[in-house]
Structure 1
Amino acid sequence: MEPGVYGFRTNDHSILTIDSIGWQTITSSEYRFAGDNRPDVGHVIFQYTLRGQGHLEFENQRFSLPKGTGFLVRIPSRHCYYYLDNGEPWEILWLNMRGDEANRIWGLAMEQGGPVFRMEASSPVIANLWTIFRQIAGAKMTDKYRLSVSAYEWMLTLLQSSRESGRELNSKSNSVLHQAKQLMKERYASPITLDMLAEQLRINKYYLCRLFQKAEHTSPLSYLRDRRIEAAIAMLRTTNLPIQEVGKRCGFESPSYFGKVFHAYMGLTPTAYREKKLEFPYDAIYYE
């Protein structure tokens, strides 16, 4: 393959699609883009360093962008990325996307990892980006719907990679997390508090909360509530136990609280869920 830049124009802004893609080597310090002074409003840009180094300023933070570093920004926002000529060219691979879905997924990626990503060139994110470049540069793919599928798959790959990166913990933390989750899966029917969990695991409860937030993006008690609702859904469909008994066996001491929480998850009462088998034909639902 040879370096190149390819752009696409369409009046259809209802779908996530690719505006442009490029593989370039930057040698001039005139290469500078500010996110609050561009015409391509509503776009999301990913750029990855193959060689050399660039820089990103994002909301009063400054990041170096050496080899193996990428960033994701949307327009408009308070950012600026640029090249400072230090004698070594900045070789980059980039993708410019547009559409409401691009902005929505950008928001999710930001929540999980921030604007800067560090990843190997062999990672699925970069490998998939090269695949898109080859499809466009070599196979001349121009259909807006195929471009949309490729862009969507790529953004979901980035989102998955960002989530998994956020879950990276050391072996001790992983062990604690596993024990806590196993404990809640086995004892969801029993009264469990955060203090009880921490005492059982012999750790600080605030540390436990940070572990869950980092690895699961939720709290320990929210994780426990998910397991209880999973058990209740299965029990409502596979037994004839009274609703109050189902709630009790799933760790809800108060029938009214059980009904309130169940409605928040399913949008209907436990009784209605049990009766509406045709509209809700699930014997089990899992919250992950």
Structure 2
Amino acid sequence: MNTSYGFRYTTQSSEHLYQIISIGHSLVRDESYVWNGLKRSGGGLIFQYTLKGTGKLRIEKDTYAVPQGHGFLLHIPGDHEYAFDASVANEWEFLWIRIDGIENDWLSKEVIRQRGALLKIDHDSTPLQLLWTLYEDSANNQLGDRYEVSLRIYEWLLSLQRYIRSGGTYLRNEIPDSYKELAQFMDLHYSDDLSLEQLADRSNMNKFHLCKMFPRYYQVTPMDYLRNRRIEKSTELLRNPHLKITEIAARCGYSNVSYFGKVFHKVVGVSPSAFREAQVGQEEEVIRVLE
């Protein structure tokens, strides 16, 4: 089994988007399967998840097993190598994706910063469900245009980040409805002027109880969750050169552009204007091809 799909991009665009370089589902039993992060061509980010068996991963001087239910997230180029080792397992079955695109990709860097490159992820978690759907749509040539592809990669990275922040403890269907509904409300109404008291009233909770319990499911306070949704939306809007930063701040719930800049810098690591400058580049129309 070795089914993989590669993508090339042919039509230039002024937008700066995530791209799929390749995606696949493979089963290997041959020790010739070796990838070295300093020897392979190109760049980008690769995520590989073990469905069955075990693989081997070296990062600089440390070596790890990658058993069932574990995956790794690596930037290329890098001092790493992953391979099949017949002395450890009879086979290695895995699902993988390689992406490229947005410079200074803070989402994947944040995941690696929080948990390292090797990740334990439940097979029925939201990130794996989204990745399987992305693979199946690639196989059926149903991904849509470059904008839809970029949006779906962004959604997958966000789901991975949220899952890692929760410590992998909670699956989406294990979070109580009252907290899921509040999170969904903030996802939709991030541009509104919302206070902690308003969020507590909406959930029919005492604000102190809400602040105690909400982080158990989302690893952040309600107000930090709202802040993160606002900053995520602002990174999308900053890629539009026709929008002023003051307008973007207002659309994302910040009436004071100076305060918006401080919050943005704290979360992303650069100012809004520096982030916008880093997005300047050319992208191309996606065409699915079989590798």
Q: 1:41-64: CA deviations, max 9, x gaps?
A: 2x1000000001001111322110
The aligned counterpart of 1:70 is 71
Counterpart residue type for residue 79 of structure 1: H
The aligned counterpart of 1:6 is 5
SS in 1 for 2:136: helix
Change (3 A) 1:264 1:36: same
Cα distance in structure 1, aligned partners of 2:64 and 2:105: 22
Cα distance in structure 1, aligned partners of 2:257 and 2:141: 51
Counterpart residue type for residue 36 of structure 1: L
Q: 1:65-107: CA deviations, max 9, x gaps?
A: 0000000001011111111124611001000000125833221
8 Å contact from structure 2 (residues 45, 98) kept in 1: yes
8 Å contact from structure 2 (residues 166, 219) kept in 1: no
Whose strand proportion is higher, 1 or 2?
2
TM-score, scaled to structure 2: 0.55
Structure 1 segments (4+ residues) deviating >3 Å: 262-268
TM-score, scaled to structure 1: 0.56
Counterpart residue type for residue 7 of structure 1: G
Cα distance in structure 1, aligned partners of 2:162 and 2:156: 10
Unaligned runs of 5+ in 1: 169-184, 186-211, 218-222, 231-261, 269-288
Cα distance in structure 2, aligned partners of 1:6 and 1:166: 29
- The 5 A counterparts of 1:1-288 are 4-10=3-9, 14-41=16-43, 43-86=44-87, 88-100=90-102, 103-141=105-143, 143-165=145-167, 265=259
Percent identity over the alignment is 30
8 Å contact from structure 1 (residues 71, 117) kept in 2: yes
Deviation, structure 1 residue 263: 10
Change (3 A) 1:166 1:102: farther
Higher relative contact order (CA 8 A, sep 6+): 2
Cα distance in structure 2, aligned partners of 1:125 and 1:69: 12
Deviation, structure 1 residue 134: 1.1
SS in 2 for 1:96: strand
8 Å contact from structure 1 (residues 25, 90) kept in 2: yes
Cα distance in structure 1, aligned partners of 2:260 and 2:66: 45
Change (3 A) 1:154 1:216: closer
- The two structures, once aligned, show a CA RMSD in angstroms of 3.2
